[in-house]
Every structure is written in C-alpha cells, then in structure tokens.
Amino acid sequence: MIVREFKLLLNASAIKRIQVHYAVMAQGYMIVADGTLETGKRETKEFKTLDTAAKFLLKMGVADFSVKLNTNSI
C-alpha cells in the first residue's frame, strides 16, 4: 500500500496492527501494516534506522506499533 492509502486507512481506523521489520537484504527497516508500505512508485519504503521509521509513524499519528528485529532465515 502506498503512503496516501496508509493515511486514509489510519484515518478510518481500518488498520489494526502496525509493525516495523528489519529487512536483512536491504539492511534497513520497513513498515508492515496489512501489507508493506510503499512509495508512490510502488517500491518498498525503507528506512535506514529504527529512529527514522518511528519518527515517520509518529508524524502519521501512530503511537502504538511493534518492532520485529529477529528475522531467522536459516
């Protein structure tokens, strides 16, 4: 889902769970909320640090989210 859709769904209280996942391949973080958050070009929106992902969510009005750091791909 793109950022614009994410805002609309947040305003409608349609999103129940938001997580920030560590992306091993990109060595950064991505937001997962009923699907991966994407840019306008439909590319996965990635954040270099957990702080930037958290600041983005707080700016959008989200104060309750979880973080998943362990991505066992073994």
55-65 pLDDT tens trace: 999 999 998 99
Which pLDDT score is estimated for 71? 58
**Residue of 13 and 72 predicted with greater confidence:** 13
- The side-by-side arrangement of strands in the sheet containing 66-68 is 46-47, 28-32, 19-23, 66-68
pLDDT above 60 for 66 = yes
What per-residue confidence (pLDDT) applies to 44? 87
Residue from 72, 62, 59, 60 nearest 21 by CA:
72
pLDDT of residue 73: 56
**Tell me: the pLDDT tens digits for 20-54?**
998 877 788 999 988 888 888 888 889 999 999 99
Query: How far is the C-alpha of 9 from the C-alpha of 15, rounded, in Å?
Result: 6
